[in-house]
Chain A
C-alpha cells in the first residue's frame, strides 16, 4: 500500500478542511470584535443543545439530503444539475396539488401520493433540460439555471393568480387538510418518552430522506442502471463502445435527479408549512450542490454534509439572534466551509498524501 488509506481520504481530509474553515470563521468573527469562542458555543448550543434545536437542524438537513442526492445522481453521469432549486419548487407545486386534491383521511395515504406528485413534478421540470442536452446538445448547466428562474416566475404567477385563497392578502395556497398532516418529531417520539417541542419542524420526511439515501446507494452501486450511469459519467466514448445509449442515460439520470429534488417538498411544504408559500425552497437547491461536493457524491458523505449544513443554518440563525452577529456573517461562514471542503480540497490533500507516503517509506525501511 503506497497510497493514502481510505479512511484518511474519507474522514481526515474533510475534518481538517472543516476545522480550517472554522478557524478562519473565528478570525472573521474576532475581526468584527466578537468573541469566536462564545460564537461557536452559541452555534453548537443552538443547533444541538435542545430538542428544538436538533429538530430544526434535522429539518434543514432533510432538505439538503434530498437536494444533495439530486445533485449527486446527476453528477455520477457527469451532469451538473444546477436546477435543484427550480425542481424543488415545482415539486412543491406537485405536493400541493396532491394534498389539496381530496380531503385525505390519513397521512399514511397522503404521503405516498404526495411523494409521487412531488417526484413527478420535479422530474418533469428536469426533463426539458435533460431532453435538450441529450438531443440538442444544449448545455445542462445553462438550461437548468434558466429553468430555476422560469420555475420561480411560474410559481409566483400561480400563487398570486391561481392558488391564492380568495379574499386573502397572502400569496400562498390554502392550508392542507388535516389528514395530510405529517407527524412531526414531537408526535413520533412522544410515545417512547423523548419530548420534542411540538412547534419544531422536523417530521416524517426525515425518515423518507434516510430511505432515499439507502436507495441511492443501491441504485448507484448495485444495479445495472447505476453501473451504466457511472460508466457514462466516467467516459462517454467507453459507454458508446459498450453499447450504452448516451441520450438514454442523460435523460434517466436527470429524471431521477429532478425527482429527488422534487421530493424535498414533502419536508418543507407538506411537513412544515402545510401550504405552498412563495420562495419555499430558500436556496436549499443550491446548498445541495455544496452538500454533494463535500459528501463526494456518496450517500454517507451526503448525509453527514447535510447535517453539517443543517447545523450551520440553525446555529447561524441562533448566532444572529443572540449574539447580534449579522446574518451576512453566517453566510460568510457557510461560504468558508464550502470553499475549504470543496474548492480547496487539494490544499489539504497534497501535504497529507506526501505525509502518508513518507510514513509508509519509513515503515518499509
Chain B
C-alpha cells in the first residue's frame, strides 16, 4: 500500500473533494512492442455516474482497464482518483484505492462457498471465523440494499452464471470499492439476468458508487450509461453524453465509417429438407447428457437460428453434426443417414457429405493460429485431390494461389497468404474460416457465433455472405448467443435450454422478451408442446 493511495482514501472521506471526478485519466499511453494499445487517453468520470467505454475488439479498452487495475504499467500519463494522483503498481493497490473489477471470466474458486470466495485475500487474520461472520453480515445487508441476493453457503460450482457474477460484485463491494469496473458483463447472461444486473448497477449508482462499463453492445450503452467514451485503434475518439447520441452515431465513431446495423435480406424460399435430425443425443466425457433428444430439420434456402444461453447444448449440437463428438439418434443428410458414432464419424467424412462447419471457437478449432493463412485455407480439406501435387506432396503453390483468390473475394485484410493466422484481426480470421467453408460449396453450413469478437464493419460483411449462401439455396444452421443476430438473420428460430428444444418461433412473430423467457427455461402455455420435448 503506497502513500499516494492512502491520501486518495482520505480524500474520499473529505467533503471538499466531492466535486473532483471519481476517476480521471490524463494522457495514458501504453505500447506492447510495436503495437500502440493506448495512445494519449484522457477521460474523466464523475462520481456517482455510469460511464460506458465502447469500442471494437482490440481497440484498447481492456488494456486501459488493466492499467487502471495495476496489471500493466502505463508508459506515460497520470491517474487521479478523487482528484489525487495515484500510482497503481498492482491489484492490491488498486483495491486500496477503492477500485473493484469484475472480469469477463470470473476469478472464483469453484469448490469454495460464496462466503469463502468473498473473503478470499481479504481475511482479517489467521482465523477465518471472525472474517466469515463479518462477511455474512455485510452480505445480508448488501443483498437487501441492491437486489444482490446470493446464498452465502452455496458452492460456486452450483451457482448459475448470473449468480456467480453477483459474487464477483459482492467481492468488490466487500473490499469497499467505490469505483466498479465491469468488463463485458452481459456476454454470458440471459436477457433477464442482464436486466437484473442493470438494476443492481443503477442501485449502486444511487448509493454514490461510480461504475465503468466496458462493452461492445450499443444497446447496453444506450440503456444504462450516463456518458460514453468511444475507443478506436488505441485512441479515444469521442466522449459524449449518452442521451445526446444514437446507436448509429456510436457505431460510426467505433468503426470510422457509416455502418448498416440491420441485415438486408429477401424473404426465404425454402425447398426440400437438407438435414433431418431425430432424437439426437450427446453424452459428454463426464457422462453428462448434453443433448437430450433434439429433433429438427433445415431446408434448402433457409437459415435456422438456434438461440440460447451459452452452455445449453448448442455447442454440442454443432459438434455432433460437424463430426467432432459422437452421438446417438438419427441424422439424415439429403435423405441418407449419417454414421454418428462409428469409426469413420469425424470431420473428414462429414465434409465429404457436404457439411461445412464454422466452429464457435475459431482460435482453438477453426484455425491453427501458428499456421499461415494458406495452410489454414485448406484445413480440414487438406486431403482433397485438387490440393495434391502428386501421391506424396501437397500442392503448396496451388493452395497459395487459391488462398490469394479467396482472400480477395472475402476482403480479408491484409490479403497476404503467408501471414500467420494469429496476425489477423478477429474479423479477418473469421473471414478466412468462412471463406474456406463457403468456397467448398457445401449443402449445409453449420455456423457457430459467426461474429463473436468480430468488429462491426466485418459483421456486416459476414452477415451478407451467410445470406448470400442461403439465397443460393443452401441450408444454414446458425448458433449464436447474440439475440440481435438470431433475430435479424434467421428465417426460423429454435430456442434451446438444458439440451432440449423449448420451442420454435418465426422472427417476425416474436421478440427478445419472449425468446429471453424461453432461453431461461420458462415455457408459457402458448408454446407448441410437441416441439418442446
- Please list the residues of chain A having a beta carbon within 8 angstroms of any beta carbon in chain B: 2-3, 218, 222-224, 227-228, 230-231, 234-235, 237-238, 240-245, 353-354, 357, 360
Contact = CB atoms under 8 A, between A and B. Distances in A.
A241 B365 contact: yes
B34 A3 contact: yes
B393 A227 contact: no
A309 B34 CA distance: 36
Contacts of A231: 368, 371, 379
A251 to B, nearest CB: 16
B327 to A, nearest CB: 15
Contact of A240 (B347, B351, B388): B347
A242 B371 CA distance: 14
Contacts of A234: 368-371
A208 B323 CA distance: 42
Interface in B383-397: 383, 388, 392-394, 396
Main SS class of interface, B: loop
Interface of B: 33-34, 322-324, 346-351, 357, 359, 361, 364-371, 375, 379-380, 382-383, 388, 392-394, 396
A238 B364 contact: yes
Contacts of B348: 242-243
Nearest to B396: A222
A195 B367 CA distance: 55
Given A237-B364, A241-B366, A357 B393 contact: no
Contacts of A240: 324, 347, 365
Contact of A224 (B365, B367, B368, B382): B382
A241 B367 CA distance: 10
A113 B371 CA distance: 38
Contacts of A3: 34
Contacts, number: 71
Contacts of B361: 237
Contact of A222 (B34, B323, B394): B394
A360 B34 contact: yes
A241 B357 contact: yes
15 contacts: A222-B392, A222-B393, A227-B394, A228-B382, A234-B370, A235-B369, A237-B361, A237-B364, A238-B364, A238-B366, A238-B368, A241-B359, A242-B348, A242-B379, A357-B34
- Would you call the interface of chain A mostly helix, strand, loop, or mixed? helix
Given A223-B394, A231-B379, A243 B350 contact: yes
A353 B394 contact: no
A247 B351 CA distance: 21
Contacts of A224: 382-383, 388, 394
A360 B396 CA distance: 32
A241 B33 contact: no
A353 B351 CA distance: 42
A354 B34 CA distance: 8
A227 B375 contact: yes
Most buried by B among A227, A228, A242, A244: A242
A235 B368 contact: yes
A223 B389 CA distance: 10
Contacts of B322: 241
A300 to B, nearest CB: 18
A223 B375 CA distance: 12
A278 to B, nearest CB: 40
Contacts of B324: 240-241
Nearest to A242: B380
Nearest to B323: A243
A230 B350 CA distance: 22
